[in-house]
Amino acid sequence: MCEVGEDYREPAPAGPPPPRPCREQKCVKCKEGLPVVVIRAGDAFCRDCFKVFYVHKFRAVLGKNRLVFPGEKVLLAWSGGPSSSSMLWQVLEGLSQDSAKRLRFVPGVVFADEGAACGQSPEDRAKTLAEAKLVLQTVGFPWHIVALEEVFSLPPSVLRCSAREPVGTEGAYKAAVDSFLQQHHVLGEEKQSRPCPQHPQGRAGPPTAGQTEALSRLFNSVKTLTAKEELLQTLRTHLILHVARTHGYSKVMTGDSCTRLAVKLMTSLALGRGAFLAWDTGFSDERHGDVVVVRPMREHTLKEVAFYNRLFAVPSVFTPAVDTKAPEKASIHRLMEAFILRLQAQFPSTVSTVYRTSEKLVKAPRDGCAAGTPGPRCLLCMCVLDVDTADSATAFGAQTSSQLPQTQPPVAEAEAPTVSCCHSGMGRAQHCCRMEADPRACDPRACVTAQLCYGCRVNMKDLVSGGPSPAREQAGAGLGLRLRSPGTSGSSLLQPSLDPLPPYILAEAQLRSQRAEAEQEIQERLLEAEDGARPGATSAEQAHEDGARPGATSAEQEGADGL
Amino acid sequence: MPAPRCASCHKARAALRRPRSGQALCTTCFCASFEAEVLHTVVAGRLLPPGAVVAVGASGGKDSTVLAHVLRELAPRLGISLHLVAVDEGIGGYRDAALAAVRRQAARWELPLTVVAYAELFGGWTMDAVARSTAGSGRSRSCCTFCGVLRRRALEEGARRVGATHVVTGHNADDMAETVLMNFLRGDAGRLARGGGLGSPGEGGALPRCRPLQLASQKEVVLYAHFRRLDYFSEECVYAPEAFRGHARDLLKLLEAARPSAVLDLVHSAERLALAPAARPPPPGACSRCGALASRALCQACALLEGLNRGRPRLAIGKGRRGLDEEGSPREPQPSGPPTSEPIPGF
């Protein structure tokens, strides 16, 4: 493959290619056992060496990053699939080993039943749940089974980033380990055995038919499979976060393998989430504040996981996903997965190359504009917003610029950058979200969209209600829906509606926009400084003025006063 | 059913729907808005200040033709003057036909044209000769790697000859999207760190480069060329099927089918990538041989040519560039040079 820095041997190898592992070959590690599996590009391992290699990788990833403190409560997100089952098994074995090498945290397991989103019948769901319970009982950790329908009863606080405890330094980690070991000696062995084993904290009864119906309606109202997958992922994250917070877990471990993370990275690129790649695919993801998501399986390839599960009989449960049996071109996720796996077959270093590149990503805004406080966060994915002012010379600006030589009000997502819900300053002053000024134009959809990052906005465009209207055969299906804008091609307008969304999202959006309005009003009443900067303006507003004209703030003032 | 009315002037019948927004526009309004958008990119990004002498990299292909045409329309408003610079890589059966198209354009638009040839600049090495030299090693020829690097040098040289202050190329949004996909697949953190913006400001003595068409999708470029009836050369380079960019291009086509805004989403992602400081290329100095911008003692063009001249073409492609006898430089070894090393589709 034309990989950068790949060594080309000079001259071309004259001899035959290196021999494939044949039956007489021994394990490359111990040179004694008979090899059973070939890892990487020709390393044959025997069963025991493979197990040592696999387990060592898991421990090394945890140990290297020093994020999981001893005695900490860790929630293992188990989907039933091979990677997360393998992770579960590793944790199980790690906890039961001799004390020197034992894993030192307190685990719990959460299983999310997503059958309603995938269109499973209640009988199938019950069957899956029964199988899952069997496995969970074998594993023996405290487990929580939640149904995706419970998102309808989540509180809006899920979407808020709680204050973080400061991350421990190297010294703090070491100190914590030492003090834990001391306690361990004092208290004796027995107290440290499997913590609270058989408390099946199941769920409070199966979900009601009404909730299931609401969930189906939500997922049916999403047009594209891509947006469905993203929505499912978002809701699942929120749900698991809620479970973690409720039961006092400070870490969540997910079983994303190297292969899946490589695919996820490329998919996130294509979805416009380039700013957040380090959070989406890195080892730790601390965007939620108090709960940190950790990915200990990120150095295991899917092949290793599959072989391990088979050789050591790790139980797993098959759960169909939203995109099971979907055609390859149905969604960006499927496309990327197929592409990467196909390329991997041709160039075996593809996945590891992408993975290595992902390790070089850092969690920082590109231009260092967040010198002070970071800007507001996206409503759904809780990352710092990455949209510029409309009309800037960037991809976002290009999609929202109103360069047409007419007075057409641009699509609703155009205006507001960050704090204020509808920033009437940039370019043309459009409908503003002031309730008291113009109730008709207060558009809940625009309010929600303004609080989303770029990627989430694109996904939200696919959320419509009802069926498609007859004149919708647009060349670009990803267009923003035109809300109440006259002068379109005379087609009947789709009524986009946010009703299907779970109430906690809408409530939080409402709260944020009200807070932003209140802040805006306060800002207007403050006296302006000489250079037009507002005293007490958030750094986000300041940062967004670098591309804006200096007259923008006064225009905003005028626009506000003109109501 | 008859075509709907143009959404902008409401008078003429619409001739197309913009791929970006699905708006129905007539020919005139579409061309006007395309030009307005390019103008906006240049102005908002402060790419070409008034009084600039701009060298337009012209290959005869659709992108550079559209670029030259639009810039010529906008030149009075921006206060710039244009020169066409064409690069002759010496690819038989392809470049000569393309150059003929460039000459016709220069004559029609009355723009001065300068042709810079590889054979003249690089000691007789044409791309065909490079391809023959790299053909024997059993792996892919990677002649596109050579072509990209050498073409940048040639363009820079041509721009200097006409006394230009800025260099513009016709990369469109699809190119940028393919580039970021490709750089991730190849693991090229250095280029990822460098790319994504609107161009390079011209560090260390190199001329500032920019891409005014960067936010225009390829479909719109083609439509614009069609409506304005521009004469361009539309065939693919004979070596193009071997380039790695082909994989990225196929992927982009599929992504666009699944989600039409995928191209701009990728450009947005590329703009927002944050790479570790260690991955970023070091501040460049000057090549010890030719004086051009370089991150190491030798610029990539000189390094590649050195390899070719020694009969070991892959000398400069690979880890560490051993054997080049470079005097130890204090800078960390990183490949220098242009944003991409893969062929630019007919700029």
**Residue B197 confidence (pLDDT):** 72
**Which residue, A451, A459, A454, is CA-closest to A433?**
A451
Residue A18 CB neighbours (<10 A): 9
Sequence letter at residue A357 = T
ipTM greater than 0.85, yes or no? no
Contact A513, A432 (CB under 8 A): no
Name every chain B residue with its beta carbon within 8 A of the beta carbon of A364. Answer: 274
Q: What's the mean pLDDT in A102-122? A: 87
- Rounded to whole angstroms, the Cα distance separating A107 from A196 reads 10
Rg of chain A in Å (alpha carbons): 26
Q: If you write DSSP's letter for every residue of A249-265 in order, what string do you get?
A: --EEEE---HHHHHHHH
Alpha carbon distance A164, A162 (integer Å): 6
Say if residue A9's pLDDT is above 50: no
CB contact under 8 Å between A406 and B268, yes or no, is no
* Residue A278 and residue A362 in contact, taking contact as beta carbons nearer than 8 Å: yes
| Angstrom distance (rounded) from CA A60 to CA A65 | 8
Residue B281: phi, psi to the nearest 5?
A: -70, 150
What is the three-class DSSP state of B283?
Answer: coil
Q: pLDDT band at B97, cuts 50/70/90?
A: confident
The closest alpha carbon to B339, from B238, B215, B209, belongs to B209
Out of B137, B267, B272, the one facing A12 most closely (by C-beta) is: B137
B201-220 pLDDT, tens digit per residue, is 766 677 888 899 988 989 89
CB pairs under 8 A between A and B: 231
B-chain residues near A392 (CB < 8 A): 44
The chain B residue lying nearest A270, using CA atoms, is: B266
Q: What is the pLDDT of residues B2-24, one digit of tens each?
A: 778 888 888 888 888 887 777 88
> Which is more confidently placed, A35 or A434?
A35
**Cβ–Cβ below 8 Å for A477 and B20:** no
The beta-carbon neighbor of B276 closest among A11, A360, A386 is A360
Whose tokens are 């290959």? That residue is B59
Q: How confident is the model at residue A404 (pLDDT cuts 50, 70, 90)?
A: very low
| pTM reported for the whole predicted model | 0.80
How much is the pLDDT for A19?
53
Q: 50-79 in B: which are within 8 Å (CB) of A? A: none
The C-alpha torsion from A344 through A350 and A352 to A357, rounded to 10°, is: -150
The predicted-structure confidence for B104-132, as pLDDT tens digits, reads as follows: 888 998 889 989 888 888 878 888 887 77
| C-alpha torsion sign, points A224, A225, A226, A227 | positive
Angle at A429 between CA A424 and CA A434, to 5 degrees: 55
Query: Distance of CA A72 to CAs A140, A303, A424, B307, Å?
Result: 18, 31, 48, 57
Rounded to an integer, the average pLDDT of B153-172 is 89
Q: For residue B261, what is the nearest residue in chain A, using CA coordinates?
A: A478
Dump pLDDT digits (tens) for A342-363: 998 888 889 999 998 888 888 8
| CA separation for the pair B342, B151 (Å, rounded) | 11
**Residue A176 pLDDT > 60:** yes
Helices and strands: H and E segment counts in chain B = 12, 10
Question: Which 3 state secondary structure label does DSSP give A419?
Answer: coil
- pLDDT per residue as tens digits for the range B42-80: 888 888 888 889 999 988 889 999 999 999 999 998 888
Confidence of residue A468 (pLDDT cuts 50, 70, 90): very low
Which neighbouring-strand residues pair with A437? none
Confidence of residue B144 (pLDDT cuts 50, 70, 90): confident
Residue A163 pLDDT level (bands cut at 50, 70, 90): low
CA of B322, closest CA in chain A: separation in Å?
11
Closest CB to B274 among A3, A332, A366: A366
Tell me how far apart the alpha carbons of residues A28 and A39 are, in angstroms, rounded to a whole number.
11
- The answer to whether B318 contacts A7, with C-beta atoms less than 8 Å apart, is yes
Cα end-to-end span (Å), chain B: 38
Question: Which residues of A are less than 8 Å from B145 in CB distance?
Answer: 2
Residue A253 or residue A192, greater confidence: A253
Place A558 in a pLDDT band, splitting at 50, 70 and 90. very low
CA torsion angle for A505, A511, A516, A519 (degrees, to 10)? -160
- Is the Cα dihedral A469, A470, A471, A472 positive or negative? positive
Res. A36 pLDDT band, cuts 50 70 90: confident
Q: State the average pLDDT over residues A466-479.
A: 39
- Torsion angle (degrees, nearest 10) of CA B308, B311, B313, B316: -80
B4 → chain A, closest CA residue: A489
Look at residue B215 and give its three-state secondary structure. coil
pLDDT tens by residue, A491-526: 344 556 677 888 888 888 888 888 888 988 998 888
DSSP character at residue B13:
B
Task: Judge: B181–A266 Cβ closer than 8 Å, yes or no.
Answer: yes
| SS3 (DSSP) at A178 | helix
Interface of B with A in 259-298 (CB under 8 A): 259-262, 264-276, 278-279
* Nearest C-alpha neighbor of A431 from the set A418, A419, A413, A417: A413
Closest to B81 measured CA to CA, from B153, B175, B192, B165 = B165
Complete DSSP assignment for A75-101: EEEE-SSHHHHHHHHHHHHHHTS-GGG
Is A405's CB within 8 Å of B29's CB? yes
Give the residue among A135, A161, A34, A16 at the shortest CA–CA distance from A78.
A135
Interface subset of B 164-183, CB within 8 angstroms of A: 173, 180-181
Q: How far apart, in whole angstroms, are the C-alpha atoms of residue A391 and residue A225?
A: 30
Chain A residues lying within 8 Å of B173, measured CB to CB: 395
B276 vs A contacts (CB less than 8 Å)? 360-362
Q: Is B201 on the interface with A (CB under 8 A)?
A: no
> Would you list the domain boundaries of chain B?
27-274, 284-318
Contact between chains at A270 and B137 (C-beta distance less than 8 A): no
Token digits for B51? 């009084």
Q: What is the CA radius of gyration of chain B?
A: 20
Contact B188 A4 (CB under 8 A): yes
- pLDDT digit string (tens) for A229-288? 999 999 999 999 999 999 999 999 999 999 999 999 999 999 999 889 999 999 999 888
User: Which DSSP helix (H) or strand (E) runs through B84?
Assistant: strand B81-88
Say if the Cβ atoms of A476 and B18 lie within 8 Å. Answer: yes
Alpha-carbon B157 to chain mean position: 16
What mean pLDDT is predicted for residues A430-434?
A: 37
Of A106-115, A332-341, B107-116, B315-324, which gets the smallest average pLDDT?
B315-324
210-239 in B: which are within 8 Å (CB) of A?
A: 215
Residue that the structure tokens 């978002």 belong to: A234
Report whether pLDDT(B174) > 60: yes
The nearest alpha carbon in chain A to B45 belongs to A393
What pLDDT is recorded for position A196?
44
Q: What is the pLDDT of residue A99?
A: 58
The residue of A1, A4, A323, A453 whose CB has the most chain B CBs within 10 angstroms, and thus the best one to mutate to test that interface, is A4
In this predicted structure, the answer to whether residue A16 has a pLDDT above a threshold of 70 is: no
CB atoms near residue A222 (< 10 Å): 21
Report the pLDDT value the prediction gives residue A205, as an integer from 0 to 100.
Answer: 62
Q: Which residue of B has its CA nearest to A481?
A: B21
Please check whether residue A412 is in contact with residue A443, taking contact to mean a CB–CB distance below 8 angstroms: yes
Better-predicted residue by pLDDT, A535 or B181: B181
**Separation in Å, CA of B105 to nearest CA in chain A:** 28
| Average pLDDT value over all residues in chain B | 81
| Residues near A77 by beta carbon (within 8 Å), at least 6 away in sequence | A84, A110, A112, A240, A252, A253, A254, A255
Judge contact between A12 and A22, C-beta under 8 A.
no
Q: Is B33 on the interface with A (CB under 8 A)?
A: yes
**pLDDT tens-digit series, residues B292-306:** 777 777 788 888 888
The set of residues, in sequence order, having a beta carbon less than 8 Å from that of B130 and lying 6+ positions away, is: B143, B146, B147, B308, B313
Average pLDDT across chain A, whole number:
74
A177-191, A207-221, B252-266: lowest mean pLDDT where?
A177-191
| Binding site feature residues of B for ATP | 57-59, 63, 87, 170, 175
Peptide bond into A11 cis (omega under 30): yes
Of the residues A225, A228, A268, A269, the best mutation for testing chain B's interface (the one with the most B CB atoms within 10 Å of its CB) is A269
Chain B residues with CB under 8 Å of A427 CB are: none
Using a pLDDT cut of 70, give the percent of chain B over it. 88
pLDDT digits (tens, 9 = 90+) for A68-86: 888 889 999 999 899 999 9
pLDDT band at A527 (very low <50, low <70, confident <90, very high): confident
What is the reported pLDDT for A478?
39
Name which of B20, B37, B265 is nearest A458 (Cβ-Cβ): B265
Chain A residue closest to B1 (CA)? A471
CA–CA distance, A462 with A485 (Å, rounded to integer): 19
Partnered with residue B197 across adjacent β-strands are none
In terms of pLDDT, which residue wins out, A19 or A33? A33
Q: How far is A341 from chain B (nearest CA, A)?
A: 12
Q: What CATH number should be reported for the domain whose range is B27-274?
A: 3.40.50.620
CB distance from B248 to chain A under 8 Å? Answer: no
Name every chain A residue with its beta carbon within 8 A of the beta carbon of B255: 270, 332, 335-336
- Nearest CA to CA, how far is A454 from chain B (Å)? 8
Instruction: Please give the residue that has the higher pLDDT: either A138 or A530.
Output: A138
pLDDT tens-digit series, residues A197-240 = 444 555 556 778 888 888 888 888 888 899 999 999 999 999 99
- What is the arithmetic mean of pLDDT over B84-93? 85
